[in-house]
């Protein structure tokens, strides 16, 4: 019972943390993306250092297979991400936009084939709309970065509030739930 109470208390604390984080993300979306870019930069540097360390420690030359070069490139990329954290505000929507465009083109082809055999043009219309959305992400990355971050923040807040309400509700009825549990 105590473990369950600790778990539920931890869940309440985590929910409150994510609500606050979501509010901060809504208030400062570009800064959050820059912070994430910096964290990725640090992670990339660590990965590069690990690869270099593996290369140095590897005695057999044939097992090295370019890990030194990969490590150096990762460290350079990590330093660049730390030096220019705002690059994430452009790379994120460009990447998402490119994925949306590619996906919408594939769906457009399928939609046209379905329309050709007598089906509805629903998929074709949706494909065109998502293609336009992808273009907006690519050609207006700063606004897109803000919108993506705010959308994620809203989703995080909604999930955290739902989890908070559920957890409080479970805590309220914990005694009754425990009385109805049958030990197997």
pLDDT by position in tens, the chain (length 184)? 677 788 888 999 999 999 999 999 999 998 999 999 999 999 999 999 998 988 888 766 655 667 889 999 999 999 999 999 989 889 889 999 999 999 999 999 998 888 889 888 899 999 999 999 999 999 999 899 999 999 999 999 999 999 999 998 888 887 777 777 655 4
In a domain, 89, yes or no: yes
141, part of any domain: yes
Could you tell me if residue 77 is inside a domain?
Answer: yes
In a domain, 184, yes or no: no
Residue at 52 is within a domain:
yes
The model carries a pTM of 0.68
Question: Is the residue at 6 inside a domain?
Answer: yes
In terms of residue numbers, what domain contains 158?
A: 2-179
Domain total in the chain: 1
In a domain, 10, yes or no: yes
Look up residue 156 and give its two tokens: 């995080």
């Amino acid at each position: 019972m105590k473990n369950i109470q600790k778990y539920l208390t931890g869940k309440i604390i985590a929910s409150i943390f994510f609500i606050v984080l979501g509010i901060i993300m809504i208030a400062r979306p570009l800064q959050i993306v820059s912070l994430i870019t910096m964290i990725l930069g640090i992670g990339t540097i660590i990965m590069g250092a690990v690869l270099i360390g593996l290369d140095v420690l590897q005695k057999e030359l044939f097992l090295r297979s370019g890990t030194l070069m990969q490590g150096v490139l990762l460290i350079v990329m990590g330093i660049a991400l730390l030096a220019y954290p705002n690059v994430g505000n452009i790379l994120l929507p460009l990447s998402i936009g490119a994925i949306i465009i590619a996906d919408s083109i594939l769906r457009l082809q399928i939609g046209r084939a379905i329309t050709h055999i007598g089906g509805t043009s629903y998929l074709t219309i949706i494909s065109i709309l998502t293609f336009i959305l992808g273009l907006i992400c690519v050609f207006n990355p700063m606004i897109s970065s803000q919108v993506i971050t705010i959308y994620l923040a809203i989703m995080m807040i909604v999930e955290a509030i739902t989890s908070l309400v559920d957890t409080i509700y479970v805590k309220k009825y914990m005694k009754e739930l425990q009385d109805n549990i049958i030990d197997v």
